[in-house]
Amino acid sequence: MSAFLITLLLSSIVVYFLSKASWKVGALLNIAISLFALFYVFTVDVGTTEKIGNFFGQNLVLQWTNVSFYFSLVSLLVIISVMIFSLKWLESQKYKASFNMFLLMVTASSIGVFAAGDLLTLYIFWEIAVLSSLLIVPMGKKGSRKASVQYAVMSAVGTYMFIYGAFLLMQRYGTLRLPEISRHLISDQSMGFKLAIFLLLVAAGVAKSGIFPLHTWLRTAHGKAPDAFSAVLSGQLTKLGSYIFTVSVAVVPSLKIFSDLTVYSGVPLPNYILIILGNISIIIGTLMAIKQDDMKMLIALSSVANGGYILIGLSTVDPLGFEGGMFHILNHALASAVIFMAFAAVVYRTKTTKISEMGGLIHKMPVTFLVYLFSIISLAGIPPMSGFISKWMIYQALVRKGMFITAFVAFFGSIGSFLYVFRPLAGVFLGQLPKKYKDVKEAPFIMLTPMVLLVLLSLFLGVWPFPVLQRIEDIRMDLGITPSFKIVEIDKWLIKGFAGSWDPVVVFSLFMTGFIVAYILYSLFPRPKKVDLLAPHEKEGTPVNIYTGGEFIYNPDLYHFNTRFYAGFERMYEKHPSWEKVLNMFAKFFHDIGEWIHSWFFKPSPSVYTLWMIVTILLVFWVRW
C-alpha cells in the first residue's frame, strides 16, 4: 500500500510538468492513474497491515479495513467523474497544470487518510489533502482568495483539536495505533479524559464536514472555488470529516466507555450532544439555503444540512441509524457532485451563478436539466432515488429510540430541502429564457457523460441498494455496533425496519408505471399552444394580450419570477441573529487587537525598538533563571 500511495503522490508532480506541455495529456493521465487507484482498492485484502516508517519512536502504519474501502470508493467515484468533466471544462481555466496536480494529490492523500492505521499517519495525509484543496480554491472567481483564508482557518481549528487529542493520547498511553488506543480507553477509569478525547476527535470532523458551529466556510469556499472543484469539495472532501466521525465511533466506542453517564433514549450524553448539533445543522443549513441567490452557495449550505443527517445517523450508534448515516455519505456524495457539475456546465455556457440572471435554460440544456432534476430528487430524499433509502433508515432509527423531536427536525429538513433545490430548478431552467442566452448550447458531451453515469448509479442504488448495504453491514459489525436483537433485516428484495419495510423494486415499478401512463395521456390529448405574448389578436387585428388581461408587456424578460423566490419565508427569520455575524464580530475584535499591538511594536521610532529589545532580553534572563 505504501508504494501505491507514494507512487500516486509522485505522479502528481509528473502530471504537473506534462500539463505544462499539454494540459489535456496531464488530465488524461490523471484519469488513468485514478482509474488504476479504483482498481487497486478492489484488490487489496481487508485486514492488510503495513508498517511504512518510524517517526520519533512512533510507527507509521497503513491498515486496510472495510471502512477504508468504502470511503475510498466514494471518493474515487466523485473525483474520477470530476476529472472526466474537466477534460472540457479546463479549457476556460487559467491554472490548468496546477489544478491537475493538486487534484491528484487530493486523490492520493484522501486514500492515505482512509488507510491510516494510526493517528500520526492519518494526520500527515490529512494535511496533504487539506493543503492541496486549499491551493485549488483560490483559482476560482473573484473573492476566492478570501474564501480560501476562511477555509484555512476552519481547517486549522479542526487540525489543532485533532493534534491536541493525539498528544494527550500519546502522553497517557504511549501509542497512536488505533486498535491499541481503543483498548486503553475502554479500560481507562478517567471519565473526564475519555470525554475530552472523544470531543477533540469529533471536533476535527465537525470542522471538516461543515457542521454547526464550524460551518461558515462551506458557503464561501464552495461558492467561490473553481466550479468543477466545488463538486469535489462537497462530494468528497467533506467526507473526510465523516470518516473522522466513523473513526471516533471505532476508537472511542461511546456505548462502552460512556455507559456510566446520563443516557437519553438509549444514547449516551456525548452522542446526544452530537445529535443536537446535527439537528441545528439541518435547521440552519435549510433556512440559509432557501434565501441564497447564488446557486453554488445554495447547494453548499445544503451540505450543512446533509452533514447533519450523517452526524445524527452515526451518533445514534444504532444499527439501522448507523447504516443509514453511512449510506447517506454515498448518496449525498453522488447527488451533490452531479449538482455542482451541472452548475459548472451552466456557468460554462452563461458565465454567471446568479439565479436571478437566468431562466428558461431547459430549452437549451435539457440533459443538464434532467441530471439536476434527478439529483435533487435524491438530495431531497424522494423515491425512487437512493437518497430516500438512507433517510428512511435514519427516520426508522430515531422513531425506534423514541427521539421524536429529532425525527421531526429531520423530516422538516427533507421538506425544506425540496424548497431550496426547487429554486434553481425554477429560476435557472424553467420560466422565460433571457434574450442574451438565446444562443446558449447544451454542455459538451464529455461534460454530460460523468453526470449521467452518476445519476444512473444513484437510480440503480435506489432500486437495488443491497450490495452497498451489505458492505455497510460489514463495517458495522467490524466496529462492534451490534444489536441485542434483530432490528434491521436486509434480504434479497426487502429492507425490513422495526416499524415497517421497504421494497425498492416494487416502488420503482410503480413509479415507472405512473410515468408511462402519464406520458401516454400527455401524447393522446391536445397540448397547450405556444403563442407570442405580443401577437395581434386573430379576429380584431389589434394588439390585445388575453393572457395578461389586455395589459401590454413591454419587456417580457422581466416577468420570470426568480428573485426573492421565498420572500415570505425569509421575512420570518431575516432579523434573527446570524452565527456568521457573531464570528465576524470576534474576527474584528482580534483584528483590532492585532492592529493595536502592531502599532506598539512597529512604530518607526528607534526609542520604541530599543525599549522592546530591553524588555525581550530581560524576559529571556528571567526565564533562564
Three-class SS of 132-189: HHHHHHHHCCCCHHHHHHHHHHHHHHHHHHHHHHHHHHHHHHCCCEHHHHHHHHHHCC
Higher pLDDT, 497 or 41: 41
542 pLDDT above the threshold of 50: no
115 pLDDT above the threshold of 70: yes
Distance, CA of 494 to CA of 490 (rounded, Å): 6
Consecutive H or E run containing 7: helix 2-21
Q: Using the 8-state DSSP alphabet, how is residue 66 labeled?
A: H
54 phi and psi angles, rounded to 5 deg: -135, 135
Q: Using the 8-state DSSP alphabet, how is residue 540 labeled?
A: T
Burial of 478 (0-12, 13-18, 19+ CB in 10 A): middle
Q: Using the 8-state DSSP alphabet, how is residue 327 labeled?
A: H
Alpha carbon separation from 212 to 255, 269, 598 (Å, rounded) = 24, 18, 33
Distance, CA of 181 to CA of 512 (rounded, Å): 51
Each residue's pLDDT tens digit, 558-572: 566 667 776 666 666
484 pLDDT above the threshold of 50: no
What dihedral angle (degrees, nearest 10) is formed by the CA atoms of 390, 330, 354, 566? 10
Each residue's pLDDT tens digit, 398-439: 888 888 888 888 888 888 888 888 888 888 888 888 888 888
Residue 161 CB coordination number (10 Å) = 20
440 phi and psi angles, rounded to 5 deg: -65, 140
> What is the per-residue pLDDT for 529?
67
Looking at this protein, which amino acid is placed at residue 471? R
> What is the per-residue pLDDT for 36?
92
Distance, CA of 505 to CA of 493 (rounded, Å): 7
> What is the per-residue pLDDT for 371?
94
CB 278 within 8 A of CB 211: yes
Alpha carbon separation from 52 to 12, 36, 41, 59, 118 (Å, rounded) = 20, 21, 18, 8, 11
Residues whose CB is less than 8 angstroms from the CB of residue 480 and which lie 6 or more positions away in sequence, other chains included: 250, 253
From the list 274, 266, 273, the residue with the least C-alpha distance to 205 is 274
Residues whose CB is less than 8 angstroms from the CB of residue 189 and which lie 6 or more positions away in sequence, other chains included: none
Distance, CA of 33 to CA of 541 (rounded, Å): 67
Cis omega (within 30 of 0) for bond into 467:
no
Residues whose CB is less than 8 angstroms from the CB of residue 277 and which lie 6 or more positions away in sequence, other chains included: 206, 211, 212, 213, 308, 311
Higher pLDDT, 253 or 61: 61
Q: How many CA atoms lie within 13 A of 135 on its CB side?
A: 17
> What is the per-residue pLDDT for 75?
93
CB 308 within 8 A of CB 413: yes
> What is the per-residue pLDDT for 367?
93
CB 111 within 8 A of CB 80: no
**pLDDT cut 90: percent of the chain above it:** 16
> What is the per-residue pLDDT for 58?
76
Specify which residues 60 forms β-bridges with. Answer: 53
> What is the per-residue pLDDT for 534?
52
Distance, CA of 239 to CA of 73 (rounded, Å): 12
- b vs e for 28-51, b when ≥16 Cβ sit within 10 Å of the residue's Cβ? bbbbebbeebbebbeebeeeeeee
> What is the per-residue pLDDT for 512?
85
What dihedral angle (degrees, nearest 10) is formed by the CA atoms of 32, 38, 43, 48? 120
The rounded mean pLDDT for the chain is 82
Distance, CA of 104 to CA of 98 (rounded, Å): 10
Specify which residues 495 forms β-bridges with. Answer: 490, 502
Distance, CA of 417 to CA of 522 (rounded, Å): 29
Distance, CA of 85 to CA of 348 (rounded, Å): 12
> What is the per-residue pLDDT for 581?
67
> What is the per-residue pLDDT for 105?
92
Distance, CA of 65 to CA of 113 (rounded, Å): 12
Each residue's pLDDT tens digit, 151-187: 888 888 888 888 888 888 888 888 888 888 888 888 8
Confidence tier at 551 by pLDDT (50, 70, 90): low
Q: Coil, strand, or helix at residue 261?
A: coil
Alpha carbon separation from 95 to 9, 10, 140, 222 (Å, rounded) = 19, 20, 10, 18
- pTM of the complete model: 0.86
- b vs e for 296-327, b when ≥16 Cβ sit within 10 Å of the residue's Cβ? bbbbbbbbbbbbbbbbbbbbbbbbbbbbbbbb
**Alpha carbon distance, N-terminus to C-terminus of the chain:** 51
Query: What is the DSSP pairing of strand 49-55 with strand 267-268?
Result: unpaired
Angle value at C-alpha 274, between 134 and 326, nearest 5 degrees: 70
Residues whose CB is less than 8 angstroms from the CB of residue 306 and which lie 6 or more positions away in sequence, other chains included: 285, 328, 332, 336, 379, 417
C-alpha cell at 383: 423515491
Distance, CA of 379 to CA of 308 (rounded, Å): 13
From the list 545, 570, 575, the residue with the least C-alpha distance to 288 is 570
Each residue's pLDDT tens digit, 184-223: 888 877 888 888 888 888 888 888 888 888 888 888 888 8
Distance, CA of 299 to CA of 58 (rounded, Å): 42
Confidence tier at 485 by pLDDT (50, 70, 90): very low
> What is the per-residue pLDDT for 538?
47
368 pLDDT above the threshold of 90: yes
